Chain A
Amino acid sequence: MFGNTGKIVWVDLDESAAQIRTLPDSYYTRFIGGAGLAAKIFWDFGDFHAAPLSPQALLIFMNGPFAGLKLSGCSRSAVAGRSPLTGHWGDSSCGGHFAPELRYAGFDGIVLEGKSKFPCVLFVEDGLVQILPAGDMWGAGVFDTTDTLRKQFGKKSRSLVIGPAGENLVNYACIINEGHHAFGRAGYGAVMGSKNLKAIIVKSSEPRYLAADPESLDALRRELDSRIRNSVTSQVFHENGTAANLEGAVHMGDVPIRNFTSSFWEEMAEALTGSTLSESYLTNKGACAFCKIACKRVVEVKEGPFAIPKGPGPEYETIAAFGSMLGSMDLAATCKAGRLCNDLGIDTITAGSTIAWGMEAYEKSAICANDTDGIVLTWGDLDTVVKTILPDIAYKKGKLGKLLGLGSFQASATLANDSWQWLTISKGMEAPMHDPRGGGHGLALTYAISHRGACHTANPMLFMEMGACYYPEIGFEYELEPMSSENKPESALLAVQIGAIENSSCFCQFADREITIPEWVQLFNYSAGYGWGLEDMMSAGLRVFYLQRLLNYRFGLRASDDDISSRLIEPAVDGAPEGIEIDFNSMKRRFYELANLDETLGIPDHRTLESLGMNDEANLVWS
């Protein structure tokens, strides 16, 4: 086998035992790798009745075929399973340094089932798999744990670690690599915690990547790496990080302000934008393995109430989630909040959004002092967020910590009052920091149809609407107007296929938009030897998109769940999108027609599944 190794580490934590399993070659060519292959593994082996945090739940880490290749954007991997935040199928993507090391150690993925009888860590070194006691690391923060693991397993080892939030089963606990890179969304840190697994460590003796056509691959790799490095957008992100254009985004109405109640705040934009971060707190630039973009930030806040030592800095999502969303323009506070979330192991998007929802609910008396043990929720009060709320969430401490630790959707359901009106979600997951009303109406559609919930990385719709990528070979030649529904369903159908290819090959969206469709096909063929034509690749993307929907169907979701909070589509009250309607229902109806989705069940018809060779899946859901 080329690119992939064909080997999976399958761990039964009930028995503290591991075995090496192989998957048929056809699984790779049909479901690509990463998120797609994880979906297929769950389809075949998962227990659909198992609660997300039960021992029977499967947790699946999966590389794509490019992991280990020395190319910008290739060093991501996927984690997948039933999400404790949403209750249905989900996955999450993480960059950093884990994916190449796992490939070099000889494996494509790790599947976990059961629950260890003691807090443990999983150590994978070349062909060797060990389950070891976590000892004093259980209870420790992510940074200390990562340091301890480096000392114990060597500087060349790479780790995935959960913090106290994961141990305490917080619904949106995340998993952190090297203290800086996160499987952020959907709560898989809690799933690790439920299995008594503190960390996974991988180590290899040599960086081996066996390509199908090494010579052609190397030429293509050099060409792509140069193009990715030299593109204007890469240079922008390199210089000032992913928040580099926060000011421009505010003018467009893309940046959510005070729980999406406002779409324009110029002073905040200047205070939080990437160049301000560079001038005020940046000490170094960071990168995922082999990446020439290096969009990561290393920061130090030397003084003041939010002082932090040199270390991982915030990306755009974290800056907006703990800045504009909470009515704050204190950049140092976003650095501190982001650092704290990394150490506690909390997803910054859901944390910021849930606190923003809480602030609005408190302001409107849907949450009262009795619900918070007297803690006052006030827009812009980052002092309370950092000192009290985030630690309380991670340790499920007090009424407020327990409530907000559920995530906004479950918290609102617990309150059983009108606080649901201020949710900003789809399928139980909080929207990222891109407001569809200004960022692009197509985002409203793709948030709603995303399998894991409101998500801007499930597919490249955001980039397609801003004109950052063109795919003429598959018919995407539109110059889309973001604040319109014109051509959005048609674009979304292409976006979900490309998104499935991205997230199954585990490629970074910042890098891969420089790659043309024919080059994508070449990459798969030269590296993994898939032997694809263009149609084969697009079909694989569509197959993965459908399989993820079928998984959700088996978890009980239907077409009516492809919905989005009214807050995210109601006319904005200010800024560029002021007063503009999003025609969500028409876009959804048209997308359903184009994708052959049943208007009640939300799944593709039998014939469509058959055309993709998904006969078994079709027979199961349509029987």
Chain B
Amino acid sequence: MVKISVKPTGIIRKFTDQTILEIPSGQNSEDIIRLLDIPHDVRPIVFVNNRKALKNQDIVDGDELTIVSLVMGG
């Protein structure tokens, strides 16, 4: 198991609170989105330690995840 922190921003807060997660090792950023049940409609993307995660980037112990929606307007 690995321990990570998750920080939702903006409209992602509708779906999850800031939290500490313990997850099995070998999970990637897409897995975290599924785990938190964040709908694809809000186009969630993950930043790991303030850098945009690569597709299917493995999440490791101590990572700080920021989840951002790509829904933009104006």
Contacts and interface: CB of A to CB of B under 8 A. Distances in A.
Given A245-B10, A245-B11, A232 B74 contact: no
Given A249-B72, A295-B73, A320-B74, A576 B11 contact: no
A12 interface: no
A483 B71 contact: no
Of A236, A237, A241, A269, chain B has the most CB atoms within 10 Å of the CB of: A236
A112 B7 CA distance: 54
B47 A251 contact: yes
Nearest to B41: A232
Contacts of A252: 45, 68, 70, 72
A366 B56 CA distance: 48
Contacts of B11: 236, 240, 244-245, 248
B71 A236 contact: yes
Nearest to B72: A249
A109 to B, nearest CB: 27
A466 B66 CA distance: 17
Nearest to A233: B71
A272 to B, nearest CB: 11
Interface string A234-278: 001100111111111101101000000000000001000101000
A439 B41 contact: no
B41 A244 contact: no
A576 B12 contact: no
A244 B74 CA distance: 10
A462 B72 contact: yes
Interface string B13-57: 110000000000000000000000001011101010001100000
18 contacts: A231-B41, A232-B39, A233-B73, A236-B14, A243-B73, A244-B10, A244-B71, A245-B11, A245-B71, A247-B9, A248-B68, A248-B72, A251-B9, A316-B72, A432-B74, A433-B74, A467-B70, A468-B70
Given A233-B41, A244-B11, 12 more contacts: A232-B39, A233-B42, A236-B71, A242-B73, A245-B69, A245-B73, A248-B9, A248-B68, A251-B9, A251-B47, A252-B72, A482-B70
B42 A317 contact: no
Of B43, B45, B70, chain A has the most CB atoms within 10 Å of the CB of: B70
Q: How large is the interface on A (under 10, 10 to 19, 20 to 34, 35 or more residues)?
A: 35 or more
A243 B74 contact: yes
Contacts, number: 88
Given A232-B39, A236-B11, A245-B10, A251 B73 contact: no
Interface string A532-568: 0000000000000000000000000000000000000
A182 B28 CA distance: 45
Contacts of B10: 244-249, 269, 273, 275
B74 A466 contact: no
A248 B74 contact: no
Of A245, A433, A462, chain B has the most CB atoms within 10 Å of the CB of: A245
Nearest to B70: A466
Contacts of B52: 483, 576
Contacts of A248: 9-12, 68-72
A434 interface: yes
A36 B15 CA distance: 42
B52 to A, nearest CB: 6
Interface string A429-452: 000111000010000000000000
Question: Which 4 A-B pairs have CB atoms at the shortest separation, nearest pair first?
Answer: A316-B74, A242-B73, A247-B10, A248-B10
Of A241, A246, A319, chain B has the most CB atoms within 10 Å of the CB of: A246
Contacts of A319: 74
A376 B13 CA distance: 40
A510 interface: yes
A254 B10 CA distance: 14
B45 to A, nearest CB: 8
Contacts of A295: 73
A315 interface: yes
A353 to B, nearest CB: 14
Contacts of B71: 232-233, 236, 244-245, 248, 466, 468
A317 B74 contact: yes
B41 A576 contact: no
Contacts of A462: 72
Given A236-B11, A245-B72, A439-B72, A251 B43 contact: no
Contacts of B47: 251, 576
Contacts of A482: 70
A467 B43 contact: yes
A236 B42 contact: yes
Contacts of B69: 245, 248
Contacts of B14: 236
A241 B74 CA distance: 9
A242 B73 CA distance: 5
A459 to B, nearest CB: 15
B2 to A, nearest CB: 23
Contacts of B74: 242-243, 315-317, 319-320, 432-434
